[in-house]
Structure 1
């Protein structure tokens, strides 16, 4: 009897593992070709200075990632006979559907209140797909970038409403998106752009660096710190471990966020990729020295 159960268990385990492997292969297959090509193209754009030129053009506090050095070059665009292959679908339709957050206006970083959107992030997306289009069709305008806007971009990605997200997203780990979506179905691309998070505070508080802010928080309970996104707040979870109430979801632009500080609704604001020409005489800008990476997401 014991031998029977052991044999039964081994057979059950074998079929279970086989099913998991097949499921993972399907998941990997859908966007694996797209991710290989996408990363290789971005690597080439970093190498020839085009992404750095784009950063300078928009005067944003970003730097190109150094993590793509080992990404293999793509001499030919891979083709697949699988009908679910995302890259094949894009090339056949000559259109890529890109998901972005609805109603966001970050100025020169990216204005998503207009369609097509403008600014650094949209121009980076256009540049990448023009380069892919040129390589495949010898025509940089053959593939159309179609932006679609959502309150929950990752839900749209899970539901196959889009082919990929924009490049500005941060890690989903420990975020509310994890609870709303099946993140196991989503693949995070390699980081393309890095930035150092900045903190905005009123000059009258005489807070000039991170240690000053920590001291202020220790002396004053339940201070409110605003963030443009939940991910911005998560980047500081280990820096301000107590005495802070984080506020996010209410601000669609740097101006909205800075106004909440000027009105003393919030003590400070955390932002990423602040435009270098951003200047308010009543605010101090502190470099948090915490680096954050931006990536596209695929399914």
Structure 2
């Protein structure tokens, strides 16, 4: 019986005062497995064990912004030593690149994603090829190729980070072959697409499920993704286009930057440096293909049921069997959801719009049957009464009553500016501030101050060494940055009107004085750093606009940039914003969440003895109503969460789940 810390004293009291013969005996240390970054940080704050294991100082520096400042990093020479340290509880938790052994450990997201994409030379020579690559990437996303290829290569896990909208591939068109220019024309003339691959012809890599290039044809996620990519590319430009991998460990980047190699493989790291500065300032990037989400892991804790008498041992064994069945029915990951959908039974999932379903369709089993609801109360009630296997909302459903788990689809957000030379210095200044806010853990601070807001760090700029991302000098500033410094005003586009500021709850309440919520708090951190560099007299001026008028003002430079919450992957004039705007380093990502009914795992409220708890478990009614029967009596199978499921009280209770989810949807609707 998995127990909360609060429930444990009650269990021990029952064991002392009655013949309690089925009780939880916790492992030494924490009584509950750590299964989220939030729980990890709470444990680090509480102590006494604040040690975490890493394989290098660089790995720790990458993770430090999302961890409690009280963490004590400990370094190990190999993964086996790290595993032993977690098992023995020498360290509270640990990190490795890749997927930890999930049968041995409780693995959970670091909430930090490293995006990957094709990379090319800058300049107009690349434009047509970049547009063609974006078109192919969007079609692989829309067609579910990432999910298909990941599932074919376990335990590979993929996170979709969308910098290009994939719902309508036709709005990301391939350039016409007959008018192709630059690198795309070269590809089509020579019938050969040259990509930089990491390795040498005599020493090709074997990255196991990620990619084994030692065999012919290569296998694994990345080779198989490239096959899907080339299928889309050839469909547009001809089946005779050949993919040529150019194997190099050194010097290949320079060949990409001079155009003699058309682009990199898509696994090259977005946020890395080149010649000591951000790749963002020396390369062009396609739509993000996918992200690696690094995972923490902690000791998985087993429960032990003690039985003193044979007759009660039978009850305890039956209770354990019942609880195990409950555990088997629990859904806590997208992989488990897809497995349940594939196995049959209830394949219905709830959504609030067809667009919401389409946004995650590529990550779900093809057997899913979407059901569209008009309101969140109806959606919640359908999950509670079992007519839906699971559902989706933007934001965070109530974790008390539902298991909440990632869709593995992330919507990144960034400051957006006009394209061209006028933006260059301002963008570099924005990037310098963002990297410093990431490095100082200020996203975590702003999110922690505004529960239940959750931020996923999506790093398109490396944050462990802010000195590598310098501010442009004020004395030589050009374009928009010079205008900011001369006028002492940084003008940002904000979604709303002067007589109707938005209230998005924990995301941002702009009606309050002073403004509250995650985004206003983040902008305070941002402006503190911007002013520290360029003067405390710089004023932040929000320009309140709705519709396209504000975007036009950003694109002509009369407004310097957008607020950072504007959506990266949306369209402008029915084409990807990526083709019409310039973007800062990604600030953070919103992660949509699936949720399913949380099966009851604590039946102590049904009574102090095993038979009461077994009856509650077999009734599958939760019975968590705070009332412990004094005599044996039938259990009320209509009670869910302590409220009759058919009453208005239940609907009122379910309606209290709405706030967190409503916020992100409101923002989405306003910012398209």
With normalisation by structure 1, the TM-score equals 0.51
**Alpha-carbon separation, structure 2, partners of 1:118 and 1:146:** 17
1:14-25, aligned counterparts within 5 Å? none
SS at match of 1:157: helix
Residues 199-219 of structure 1: CA distance to partner in whole angstroms, max 9, x if unpaired? 68xxxxxx659xxxxxxxxxx
Q: Specify the alignment match of 2:534 in structure 1.
A: 136
Which of 475, 484, 491 matches 1:97? 491
SS at match of 1:148: strand
Does residue 123 (structure 1) correspond to residue 521 (structure 2)? The answer is yes
Does residue 31 (structure 1) correspond to residue 423 (structure 2)? The answer is yes
Q: Specify the alignment match of 1:74 in structure 2.
A: 470
Q: Specify the alignment match of 1:148 in structure 2.
A: 543
1:1-299, aligned counterparts within 5 Å? 27-59=419-451, 60-69=453-462, 72-74=468-470, 77=473, 79-80=475-476, 82=478, 85-102=479-496, 103-113=501-511, 117-137=515-535, 141-152=536-547, 153-173=550-570, 175=571, 177-179=572-574, 184-198=579-593, 208=597, 281-282=654-655
Q: 1:124 to 1:182 in 2, by over 3 A?
A: closer
Aligned-residue RMSD, C-alpha: 3.7
Q: 1:208 to 1:44 in 2, by over 3 A?
A: same
SS at match of 1:58: coil
SS at match of 2:573: helix
Name stretches of at least 5 consecutive residues in structure 1 with no aligned partner. 1-12, 14-25, 201-206, 210-278, 289-293, 295-299
Q: 1:280 to 1:128 in 2, by over 3 A?
A: farther
Offset of residue 40 of structure 1: 1.6
**Alpha-carbon separation, structure 2, partners of 1:284 and 1:39:** 37
Offset of residue 123 of structure 1: 2.2
Q: 1:158 to 1:142 in 2, by over 3 A?
A: same
Say whether the 8 Å CA contact 1:94–1:143 is kept in structure 2: yes
Offset of residue 68 of structure 1: 1.8
Q: 1:76 to 1:179 in 2, by over 3 A?
A: closer
Offset of residue 49 of structure 1: 1.7
**Alpha-carbon separation, structure 1, partners of 2:523 and 2:578:** 23
Offset of residue 131 of structure 1: 0.6
SS at match of 1:69: coil
SS at match of 2:592: strand
Name stretches of at least 5 consecutive residues in structure 2 with no aligned partner. 1-180, 182-417, 599-651, 662-666, 668-672
What is the number of equivalent residue pairs in this alignment?
183
**Alpha-carbon separation, structure 2, partners of 1:157 and 1:116:** 26
* Larger Rg computed on CA atoms: 2
Residues 172-212 of structure 1: CA distance to partner in whole angstroms, max 9, x if unpaired? 44x3x324999754212221111211368xxxxxx659xxx
Residues 69-123 of structure 1: CA distance to partner in whole angstroms, max 9, x if unpaired? 17832165355465xx001111111110111111422012112345774321122
Offset of residue 48 of structure 1: 1.7
**Alpha-carbon separation, structure 2, partners of 1:159 and 1:75:** 24
**Alpha-carbon separation, structure 2, partners of 1:51 and 1:41:** 12
SS at match of 2:541: strand
**Alpha-carbon separation, structure 2, partners of 1:63 and 1:128:** 18
**Alpha-carbon separation, structure 1, partners of 2:523 and 2:542:** 10
SS at match of 1:149: strand
**Alpha-carbon separation, structure 1, partners of 2:575 and 2:502:** 21
Which structure's relative contact order is higher, taking Cα pairs within 8 Å and 6+ residues apart? 1
**Alpha-carbon separation, structure 1, partners of 2:582 and 2:471:** 24
